[in-house]
Structure 1
Amino acid sequence: MQRITISIEDDLLDELDAFMARSGATNRSEALRDLLRRGLARKAAGDAQCVGVLSYTVDLSMRDLGRRVPQSRHEHHHMAVAALSVPLDHTVAVEVAVMRGPVETVENYANGLFTERGVRHGALSLVPISEEEEVHQHGDGSSHSHVHLKVRDGF
């Protein structure tokens, strides 16, 4: 890790300190690293691998939306990792979907979902990953290989 020195206006430093308190960062360096990772994450190449966490609200009283959203996930089953729906009232639910694949594909899926009439408050968070094949040996002496997802610091 390298050490750098920066100059920052008092007002911006106050905002950084407030962010540090909200985020639980233990020092300014940690807070700045977090902000930089978040800011630079959008610079990901379209073919970079990621796990995308989509959060949004769905108004299930909208015609066919309660069927279309899960159907869309089924049409992208090769990307879908998990989905959760939590009812907030009789018609609205907050949903979280975890999708995996190239950044461009995950972003396109999220943008298509977020533009559906009745879907609101959509947000996408991208986690950079790589796939690494590893060979493991188990208690019976047999070994096999499989792929592990490794979280990376950036794209």
Structure 2
Amino acid sequence: MLLFSKKIAQHKGGICLEGIVRFGVSMESKLLKQFDELIKKKNYNNRSEAIRDLIRDFIVENQWEAEDVETIGTITYVFNHEVREINDKLTDMQHKHYKNIISTMHVHLDEHNCIEVMIVRGKAKEIVKIADEIISTRGVKHGKLVMTTTGENL
């Protein structure tokens, strides 16, 4: 009589159950307590889900460091639209990089300040260069590049 209908096999570093590998992690109790508090605060159902997300994040960050991997991200920046020629400069940059900029959203924050969020796609090296160019433009008060993945390799 079979108790489990799923295949169980040995895997380097743990037990594999239909593509899922169980493995042990050793850490200080204080660190584990802090981790448990954080995953509860972030509404994770269990440690496994939180650890999987941490591993995925680590993989994505390292893909960006490769510079030649197809990636996706957002460039968010706040600027004063009254600074001389800033609108023209930002628009020119967007046209210059039209192959990498998928979409841009523009919002008026007040009488002077605007925020734009660009969705960008391309090689990591290209995306970082575009973000640096935009964020360093005179009149841009703050900007941030948020890098993620196309999900293809996860």
Class of the TM-score when normalised by the shorter of the 2 chains: 0.7 to 0.9
Q: 2:45 pairs with 23, 26, 35, which one?
A: 26
What's 2:55 paired with?
36
What's 1:83 paired with?
104
How many Å separate the matches in 2 of 1:18 and 1:121?
32
Give the letter for the 1:35 counterpart.
L
**Rg comparison, structure with higher value:** 2
How many Å separate the matches in 2 of 1:116 and 1:15?
41
Unaligned residue ranges in structure 2 (runs of 5+): 1-19
Change (3 A) 1:83 1:15: farther
What's 1:115 paired with?
136
How many Å separate the matches in 2 of 1:61 and 1:11?
52
Change (3 A) 1:17 1:104: same
What's 2:69 paired with?
48
Q: Do 1:53 and 1:99's aligned partners in 2 also have CA atoms closer than 8 Å?
A: yes
Bigger share in strand? 1
Alignment length (residue pairs): 133
Deviates more, 1:31-40 or 1:10-19: 10-19
Deviation at 1:27, TM superposition (A): 1.8
What's 2:152 paired with?
152
Q: 1:61 pairs with 82, 92, 112, which one?
A: 82
Deviates more, 1:76-85 or 1:28-37: 28-37
Unaligned residue ranges in structure 1 (runs of 5+): 130-150
Change (3 A) 1:42 1:57: same
How many Å separate the matches in 2 of 1:14 and 1:119?
41
RMSD between aligned alpha carbons?
A: 2.2
Deviation at 1:11, TM superposition (A): 4.4
> Percentage identity across aligned positions?
27
